[in-house]
Every structure is written in structure tokens, then in C-alpha cells.
Amino acid sequence: MDAFVVRAPRGRDGPGGQGRRPEEAGLGRAPPRQIRAEGLHCDYRILFTKAEADEIFQQLEKEVQYFEDDQTKLHVFGRWHNIPRKQVTYGDPELSYTYSGVTFHPKPWIPVLNRIRERLTLATGHTFNFVLINRYKDGLDHIGEHRDDERELLPRSPIASVSFGACRDFILRHRDCRGSGARRGRQSLRLPLAHGSLLMMHHPTNIFWYHSVPPRRRVITPRVNLTFRKLMAGDRRGNAHPAGTSDCQQQL
């Protein structure tokens, strides 16, 4: 299977928010665009009207308090690096999340995050107990290629990625396309994620596909991305993901 299938709802353009926004047809009625390939199961849609997205973006900019000092560094290949963006986690109090040698404890939910979370549940039927927020001040801020496969994630649960602010390219690449021994050609998929959009990443996408938000020099305005997740509390984790399967070491 070497082709992507992107099924567009009738009368709409490709991913990236270039087409009509759902408020033109009635919010919530626009079906998601289905993005499918081998091991890839994603759905993309505009979730918030432009007015709502503008308001939420401003609230996020005012109210989200990003990590500082030690929590802005990651341990990659034996060295500590400053991450090229700002980051923070919010969520239920009993949860924690570890990647690249750093354990994050979530801050308590704030109203603007609950507003987004409730809309997500209404639109998708899924509930989420944790969110990782990344703020990219401009196109130089980025996130390297990785999979969301941390051991705390509830097995087979979806990840809901909501974006506000500047539109940035989200690149998906099959795991067999990576490295010198790649068994496939340069197969990747570019999804421009628009202001107010939702990308649902369903199982098994994060087993077979890596994703990244690469630098884009022409982007000069900020973007905030929120990935809502379903985490298991420490005492429920057991061996859901065998130790060592997570390779988020490359999540710089």
C-alpha cells in the first residue's frame, strides 16, 4: 500500500483550512475528512468558528502558564537540550507523564482548557484526562519526529490534537521510511493544521507513523497546539506498554 486516501466531505477543500469553515454550513455538521493509509487512521476537521478560535487563542495566551527552568529541557542521546518551543501539561491530579528522562506532573485544569475539552467530548464522544500544550512562538520553534507512544497512554486510545494561531505543517512519515535501511520510498504526508482545527489520531497511527512540526521560516506568528490524551494513573499501568517501547527520545 503506497497511497494515501483522503476522503473529503462533499464540497470542501483539502486539509489546511483553505476551504469553507464549518460555521458556513452550521457548526458540528461538517463531517471530518478521513485520512487513511496503511496503519494510519486520522480524522481532520475545523472544530471552532473563527470567532471562537480567536477568543480561545487569546485566553490561552493569557492564562496558560508554561513550564520554566529545568522543565524546559529534555534528555536526548545523553545530553540535555533546551526544547525549541514552550511546553506545559494540565490534567487530573493523580496523573504523570514521562518522556526523554523527564516526568511531568499536570497543573490543575483551568476554564479555557475545560471549554475545549467539553467541546471535544461533544464532537467525538471521547473523554480526556490530560493535555500536553506546545507553544511555537514563530516558525523557528518546532518539534522533531516522534511517536506518541508513552507507557502512560491508555492502550488503543485516540489523541485529539487541537490547534490555534498560525497554520503549521504537520508531517506524518511511516516508520519503514526512516533511517538508512528504509524499506520504502520517501513516503510522507503533509497536513497543514489550521486555526481552530481538530486532528484525531486513532489507534494504530502512533504505532506505525512518526510525526513532526518542522521549522518554517516564513511563519512569523505564534501557534498553540493542545494534544488531549487518555492517561492511566500510575497504579493502573502494569505492563500495558512493555518497558523500552517508547522512543520519544527524539522529541526535541
Ligand X SMILES: O=C(O)CCC(=O)C(=O)O
Binding site for Mn ion (CB under 5 A): 148
Residue 161 sits in the site that holds ligand X (CB under 6 A): yes
Which of residues 26 and 221 has its CB atom nearest to ligand X in the complex?
221
Cell 500544550 belongs to residue: 133
Which of residues 46 and 213 has its CB atom nearest to Mn ion in the complex?
213
Exposure letters 166-187 (e unless 16+ CB within 10 A, then b) = bbbbbbbbbbeeeeeeeeeeeb
Beta strands in the chain (DSSP E): 5-7, 33-37, 40-46, 73-76, 79-82, 86-91, 97-99, 102-104, 130-136, 143-146, 159-165, 168-174, 188-193, 197-201, 209-213, 223-229
Q: Taking the complex as a whole, how short is the minimal distance between the CB of residue 170 and ligand X, in angstroms?
A: 5
Which of residues 129 and 206 has its CB atom nearest to Mn ion in the complex?
206
Which of residues 141 and 148 has its CB atom nearest to Mn ion in the complex?
148
Q: Taking the complex as a whole, how short is the minimal distance between the CB of residue 65 and ligand X, in angstroms?
A: 17
Q: Taking the complex as a whole, how short is the minimal distance between the CB of residue 29 and ligand X, in angstroms?
A: 25
Out of 124, 205, 206, 227, the residue judged to bind ligand X by CB under 6 A: 227
Residue 225 sits in the site that holds ligand X (CB under 6 A): yes
HSE of 181, CA atoms in CB hemisphere, 13 A: 0
Interacting residues with ligand X (CB under 6 A): 132, 134, 143, 148, 161, 170, 193, 211, 213, 225, 227
